[in-house]
């Protein structure tokens, strides 16, 4: 996956004054960083430091010490967590993903994704119905009865990034069908979660799948989170099903540029959508991810312009 991370860009988020003043966080302060499902920290070294502090608070809340190997599935699954803290577990999985994806070089982020994956799975397995279904059948049977969209979404998102590091191992361990089932189930439970995140994830999934790649499916999923003209002729797509205001989340548009237009050699269309993203203000709705998406758009645009 093409990514470009620059940590020097300062874009303020709408976070509470104590965070901006760099005061020590308690749990309420850490949870306040998650605004409208999204992580709210600066796209900067300072923002990275706040996110790392948030992770520390979440771990302390769960009672995690250095004795727990967060990259060992058996250790994490055996670790006792009160069901009252399930949302904290979900946010820990999300925080690890964000730290890895936005703030950490690709050659250094695998362990963060792996920890995010395991905490996402931990959240799913805190549900006894999920556990029983997994014991009685297979993992995808348990996914079919899961009821926690954030747990499914972040477990799958982290798992896919781990799989990208070792695609052959992922195929051997049936990671594609497992994560596909997780994304599809999350989509059923909450299609609007994280600005249409499961549509975005499945669009990228069908574009990057090493075996069975299907760009028609990629387009169908992306059309639910963008208002591109190409969607007017997308087979089976109903514009009434589009997620409202999805264009406001820039990554939806950079994804259709990267995983559909560029893969189809539609260079002019890719340039148009990337130019549009870069022409807009980051705004205060999705400040972290919109700033990050613009940085990624600049890298993609440089590649696109080589083909024009």
* pLDDT confidence of residue 2: 37
CA–CA dist 285, 68 (Å, integer):
36
Bridge partners for 38 per DSSP: 35
Q: Could you tell me where the DSSP H helices lie in 63-174?
A: 73-78, 86-103, 110-124, 128-136, 139-143, 149-165, 167-172
Structure confidence by residue, pLDDT tens digits, 18-71: 344 456 899 999 999 999 899 999 899 999 999 999 999 999 999 999 999 999
Confidence band of 73 (pLDDT split at 50, 70, 90): very high
Asked whether 98 and 79 are in contact (CB, 8 A), the reply is no
Return phi, psi of residue 38, to 5°. -100, 150
Q: Which residues pair with 35 in a beta bridge?
A: 38
Question: Is the four-CA dihedral 18, 21, 25, 30 of positive or negative sign?
Answer: positive
Which region among 166-175, 242-251, 272-281 has the lowest average model confidence (pLDDT)? 166-175
pLDDT of residue 22: 53
Predicted confidence (pLDDT) per residue in 96-126, tens digit: 999 999 999 999 999 999 999 999 999 999 9
Model confidence pLDDT, tens digit, residues 205-221: 999 988 899 999 999 99
Report if pTM > 0.85: yes
DSSP E strand boundaries for 8-79: 34-35, 38-39
Q: What is the mean pLDDT of residues 272-283?
A: 97
Q: Kindly give, in sequence order, each residue whose CB lies less than 8 Å from that of residue 71, ignoring residues fewer than 6 positions away.
A: 111, 114, 115, 118
pLDDT tens digits for 179-215?
999 999 999 999 999 999 999 999 999 999 888 999 9
CA atoms within 13 A on the CB side of 89: 27
Alpha-carbon distance of 54 to 66, in angstroms, equals 17
The CA-based dihedral angle spanning residues 222, 184, 85, 66, taken in that order and rounded to the nearest 10 degrees: -80
pLDDT, tens digit, 9 for 90 and up, residues 117-166: 999 999 999 999 999 999 999 999 999 999 999 999 999 999 999 999 98
CB 257 within 8 A of CB 273: yes
CB under 8 Å to 132, separation ≥6 — which residues? none
| Higher-confidence position of 2 and 232 | 232
67 exposure class (CB count in 10 Å sphere: 0-12, 13-18, 19+): exposed
The mean per-residue pLDDT over the stretch 222-246 comes to 94
Count Cβ neighbours within 10 Å for each residue of 245-259 and write b for 16 or more, e otherwise.
ebbebbbbbbbbbbb
Q: Of 143, 138, 180, nearest to 159 (Cα)? A: 180
Percent of the chain at pLDDT above 70?
A: 93
pLDDT digits (tens, 9 = 90+) for 290-300: 999 999 999 99
pLDDT at 19: 43
Measured CA distances, 304 to 112, 200, 202 (Å): 30, 21, 23
Number of residues assigned to the chain: 308
């Amino acid at each position: 996956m093409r990514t470009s991370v620059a940590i020097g860009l300062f874009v303020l988020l709408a976070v509470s004054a104590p965070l901006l003043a760099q005061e020590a966080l308690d749990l309420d302060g850490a949870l306040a960083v998650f605004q409208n499902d999204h992580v709210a920290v600066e796209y900067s070294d300072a923002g990275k430091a706040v996110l790392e502090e948030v992770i520390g608070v979440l771990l302390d809340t769960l009672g995690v010490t250095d004795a727990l190997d967060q990259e060992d599935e058996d250790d994490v699954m055996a670790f006792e967590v009160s069901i009252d803290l399930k949302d904290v577990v979900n946010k820990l999985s999300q925080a690890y993903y964000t730290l890895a994806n936005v703030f950490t070089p690709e050659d250094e982020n695998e362990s963060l994704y792996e920890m995010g994956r395991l905490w996402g799975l931990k959240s799913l397995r805190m549900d006894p119905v999920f556990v029983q279904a997994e014991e009685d059948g297979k993992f995808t049977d348990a996914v079919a009865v899961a009821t926690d969209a954030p747990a499914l979404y972040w477990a799958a998102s982290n798992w896919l990034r781990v799989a990208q590091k070792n695609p052959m191992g992922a195929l051997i361990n049936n990671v594609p069908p497992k994560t596909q089932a997780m994304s599809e189930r999350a989509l059923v439970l909450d299609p609007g979660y994280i600005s249409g995140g499961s549509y975005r994830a499945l669009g990228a999934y069908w574009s990057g799948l090493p075996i069975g790649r299907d760009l028609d499916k990629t387009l169908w999923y992306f059309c639910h989170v963008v208002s591109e003209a190409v969607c007017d002729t997308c087979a089976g797509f109903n514009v009434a099903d589009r997620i409202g205001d999805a264009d406001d989340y820039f990554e939806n548009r950079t994804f259709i540029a990267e995983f559909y237009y560029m893969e189809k050699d539609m260079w002019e269309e890719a340039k148009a959508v990337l130019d549009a993203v870069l022409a807009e203000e980051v705004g205060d709705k999705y400040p972290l991810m919109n700033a990050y998406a613009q940085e990624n758009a600049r890298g993609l645009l440089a590649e696109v312009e080589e083909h024009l």
